[in-house]
Amino acid sequence: MKNIDTFYVNGEWAAPAAGATVMDIVNPATEEVVGKLSLGTVEDADRAVAAARAAFPAWSQSSREERLALLERVIGLYKARLPEIGEAVRTEIGAPVGLSNAVQAPIGLAAMQSTLQALKTFEFETSHGKNYVAHEPIGVAALVTAWNWPLMLIATKVSAAIAAGCTVVLKPSEISPLDAHIFAEIMHEAGTPAGVFNMIYGEGRSVGARLSSHPEVDMISITGSTRAGVEVAISAAPTVKRVHQELGGKSPLLILDDADLQAAVQTGVVSVMMNSGQTCVAPTRMLVPRARYAEAQAVAAAVANAFTVGDPADPATKMGPISNRAQYEKVQRMIGVGIEEGARVVAGGPGRPDGLDKGFFTRPTVFADVNNDMTIAREEIFGPVLVMIPYDSEEDGIAIANDTNYGLAAYIASGDPDRARRVANRLRAGSVRVNGAQMDLSLPFGGFKASGNGRENGAHGLVEYMEVKSVCM
Ligand code: NAD
């Protein structure tokens, strides 16, 4: 049992203010309670903001070298605790050991290394004749994160904010508190000056809402659902703080008629099912040339059916459970909606996989006979559910790809790089990946439309936490 009953405020571990509630930390693979988490109140948010505010004048004046040295110490300590971090992610969200140890934990490291590289060369001041433009930290940044790639989100935001010279209050997801706690320990051990990094746990509607509306918070950065992002923006509006949103997605994989169909479908299905479909950029709408629709369904079904679902501690497991009960119930409900709307299940379907009668396990599910107006094609399900949609021409494929409220990512499969580039330029999404290309953490990341505002990673991620000042001499 792990009891988390302290927050990290002003360089110390502190008990929450009176009125904190306690929630169970549940292992989603067993449904067993593995710990207890204290959830703070508005008062805790206020204390953390006060600490961050008090630390801002000094940290905002710290040198590039001081910030680099801090980040390097954090990176070194994080590296040393990678196995423990992987274990925490497995326990709290059920990511299989292969994924939690080899991807979930190290990606936090990669995110911080990306910030480190960007900080090394960032031009805080640019000359314009006698005049100059200065980039200065925006102030106190509140950082609110989701549970699905918990360390990547925390490490990306915290490293960028601190590198920019901001002081921060982190409110990680209440669903994934274990890894966040390790992260706060690392920040402490690294000798982060008191108040520069603060972390409190709490629910979105109380602590999250207080941080968004707090007059002493200069910027709020949230990664979460579009619903939460909208609520944050509404409560942030009266204080005119900067709002940075990394929100949901319903990303298309547009398989062009000159693509290697087998490879494209296989990569697409695997990308959806990884992390039990709980990835904001998952290519959950697969757009297939009508002439090859039947062939693509057969490949997709075979790949989905071959996914081993089960105990996340077993190295043979490719897919663990959904990370929490509410999300599991939502995914099950959406599978039901797909069937009611007339889509055809070609793999998976409702309920748990055979042989798994407890844990939030879900069957890797593929729907065909889907049109882009169906609920399962429009709404983010955030589970291992792929919809396959046929299209008739390249124009038609592009139109369907763009016919979504979201715009986080888009994927293209094509045998012709020039064609892929031409199509990429027409897709309304913050990042486009061609033929299974991996994400590049040095490039900007963020969404068009309801997927968000602002960018993370590299120099773009740093600028997000800065004000720009023109000085005319
Ligand atoms: P969520 O919106 O329920 O919660 C995200 C965070 O926001 C949590 O810390 C939560 O406590 C907080 N929150 C909720 N309501 C709030 C409010 N009214 N005010 C302030 N804070 C509030 O999302 P989740 O279930 O944790 O994560 C899944 C969602 O996150 C998906 O929609 C996914 O696409 C999205 N996501 C986006 C990205 C991205 O980079 N664009 C990355 C990962 C996840």
Question: Tens digit of pLDDT for each residue in 257-284?
Answer: 999 999 999 999 999 999 999 999 999 9
- H or E stretch at 230: helix 226-236
State which of 154, 156, 173 you would mutate to test the pocket of ligand 1, scoring each by most atoms of that ligand within 8 A of its C-beta: 173
- Work out which ligand 1 atom sits closest to the CA atom of 447: 41
Ligand 1 test: best mutation among 148, 212, 230, 449, most atoms within 8 Å of CB?
Answer: 148
> Is the model's pLDDT at 223 over the cut of 90?
yes
| Residue 257, C-beta contacts closer than 8 angstroms, at least 6 positions apart | 289, 291, 292, 394
Q: Whose CA is nearest to atom 12 of ligand 1?
A: 204
pLDDT in tens, 377-436: 999 999 999 999 999 999 999 999 999 999 999 999 999 999 999 999 999 999 999 999
- What's the mean pLDDT in 107-112? 97
Give Cα 306 to chain centroid, integer Å. Answer: 27
Find the 230 Cα to ligand 1 centroid distance in Å. 11
Atom of ligand 1 nearest to the CA of 202: 11
CA-based nearest residue to 99, from 307, 303, 251: 307
> How far is it, in rounded angstroms, from Cα 163 to Cα 99?
28
Query: Residues in the chain, how many?
Result: 473
Pocket of ligand 1, beta carbon within 6 A: 144-149, 171, 173-174, 203-205, 208-209, 212, 222-225, 228, 231-232, 246-249, 280, 380, 382, 408, 447, 451-452
User: What's the pLDDT at 1?
Assistant: 86
Dihedral class, residue 195 (left if φ above 0, else alpha if ψ from -120 to 50, else beta): left
Cα of 419 from ligand 1 centre, angstroms: 35
Report d(CA 358, CA 216) in Å as an integer: 45
Ligand 1 centroid to residue 417 C-alpha, Å: 35
Place 39 in a pLDDT band, splitting at 50, 70 and 90: very high
pLDDT-above-90 percentage for the chain: 100
Q: How many Å lie between the centroid of ligand 1 and the Cα of residue 107?
A: 19
The rounded Å distance from CA 409 to ligand 1 centre is: 17
Which atom of ligand 1 sits closest to the CA of residue 451?
41
Q: Distance (Å, rounded) from C-alpha 283 to C-alpha 388?
A: 11
- When pLDDT is averaged across residues 204-224 and rounded to a whole number, the result is 98
**Confidence (pLDDT) at 214:** 98
Mind listing the pLDDT tens digit for each residue in 314-335?
Answer: 999 999 999 999 999 999 999 9
Cβ proximity of 181 and 153 under 8 Å: no
For residue 408, which of 272, 280, 284 has the smallest C-alpha distance? 280
Q: Given this structure, which CATH class describes domain 2-247+451-471?
A: alpha beta
Mean pLDDT rounded to a whole number for the chain:
98
Told to judge if 246 belongs to the known catalytic residues of this protein, a careful annotator would answer yes
The single residue of 87, 246, 380, 456 carrying the catalytic annotation is: 246
Sheet containing strand 2-4, strands side by side: 2-4, 32-39, 21-27
CATH number of 252-440: 3.40.309.10
Per DSSP, helices labelled H in 102-216 are 105-121, 150-164, 177-189, 209-213
Helix axis angle, 82-93 relative to 105-121, nearest 10°?
120
Digit-coded pLDDT (tens) for 42-99: 999 999 999 999 999 999 999 999 999 999 999 999 999 999 999 999 999 999 999 9
Rounded Cα distance between 415 and 257, Å, is: 9
Give span(s): CATH 3.40.605.10, the chain: 2-247+451-471
pTM over 0.95: yes
Ligand 1, atom nearest to 212 Cα? 20
Tokens of residue 69, six digits: 């040295």
Of 87, 92, 174, 280, the active-site residue reads 280
CA of 94 to the centre of ligand 1 (A): 18
Mean pLDDT on 204-218 = 98
Report how far residue 239's alpha carbon sits from residue 249's, in angstroms, rounded to the nearest whole number.
28
Protein residue whose Cα sits closest to atom 20 of ligand 1: 208
Percent of the chain with pLDDT over 70: 100
Nearest CA owner, ligand 1 atom 30: 224
* Dist. CA 231 → ligand 1 center (Å): 11
pLDDT in tens, 129-188: 999 999 999 999 999 999 999 999 999 999 999 999 999 999 999 999 999 999 999 999
Task: Name the E strands within 138-263.
Answer: 140-144, 167-171, 197-199, 219-223, 242-246, 252-255
C-alpha span between 427 and 398 (Å, rounded): 7
User: What is the reported pLDDT for 378?
Assistant: 98
- Give the closest residue (by CA) to ligand 1 atom 37: 247
> Tell me, what's the pLDDT at 137?
98
Backbone φ and ψ of 166, nearest 5°: -85, 160
What atom in ligand 1 is closest to the CA of residue 327?
25
Give the max Cα distance, the chain. 74
| Section 227-231 average pLDDT | 98
Pocket perturbation via mutation, ligand 1, pick of 42, 144, 445 by most ligand atoms within 8 A of CB: 144
Distance 142 CA to ligand 1 centre (A): 14
| Residue range(s) occupied by CATH 3.40.309.10 in the chain | 252-440
